């Protein structure tokens, strides 16, 4: 079908969910062509979105908590960074090199970007 790409393939290429693309359509951020109750995007439109996302540094993570770094503990390889985000305390483990490049130290503003993971706890 010409240069049309199914919504699922477009979502995968962009690193977002199909629901996100539907939301973008409602917001006027992307236009889909409908054929037989299926959504397709033109390759040029997908290219535009990919270029736009690459230039903004955006992620698919929805949870972004801005706060203040309250402690940074470094060793030779790793760093433990604690950020106060309102009433929440966020602790991140990262490479020391990353903490140094971000110039993380107590008192600086930082945003914790949280991508959901699955945690399962079981008892016999």
**So what's the pLDDT on residue 99?**
93
Residue 80 within any structural domain of the chain: yes
Looking at the structure, tell me whether residues 32 and 68 fall in a common domain.
no
Residue 124 within any structural domain of the chain: no
Looking at the structure, tell me whether residues 73 and 104 fall in a common domain.
yes
Sign of the four-CA dihedral 72, 65, 98, 108? negative
CATH for 81: 2.40.50.100
| Run of H or E residues at 9 | helix 7-14
Residue 110 within any structural domain of the chain: yes
**DSSP E strands: which ranges in the chain?**
4-6, 33-35, 38-42, 63-74, 78-85, 88-95, 109-114
Residue 101 within any structural domain of the chain: yes
State phi, psi for 75 to the nearest 5 degrees. Answer: -125, -160
> Domain span at residue 35?
4-56
pLDDT(89) > 60: yes
The span from the CA of 45 to the CA of 51, in Å, is 10
Count of domains in the chain? 2
Q: How confident is the model at residue 63 (pLDDT cuts 50, 70, 90)?
A: confident
Residue 120 within any structural domain of the chain: no
Tell the burial category of 41 from Cβ atoms under 10 Å away from its Cβ (0-12, 13-18, 19+).
buried
The 10s digit of each residue's pLDDT in 7-58 is 988 888 888 889 999 999 999 999 999 988 899 998 888 888 887 776 555 5
Looking at the structure, tell me whether residues 39 and 72 fall in a common domain.
no
């Amino acid at each position: 079908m010409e240069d049309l790409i199914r919504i699922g393939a477009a979502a995968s290429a962009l690193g977002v969910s199909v629901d996100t693309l539907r939301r973008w359509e409602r917001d006027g951020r992307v236009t889909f062509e409908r054929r037989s109750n299926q959504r397709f995007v033109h390759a040029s439109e997908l290219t535009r979105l990919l270029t736009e996302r690459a230039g903004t540094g955006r992620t698919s993570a929805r949870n972004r908590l801005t706060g203040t770094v309250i402690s940074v503990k470094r060793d030779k390889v790793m760093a433990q960074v604690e950020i106060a985000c309102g009433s929440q305390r966020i602790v991140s483990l990262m490479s020391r090199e990353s903490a140094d490049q971000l110039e993380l130290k107590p008192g600086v503003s930082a945003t914790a970007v949280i991508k959901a993971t699955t945690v399962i706890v079981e008892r016999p």
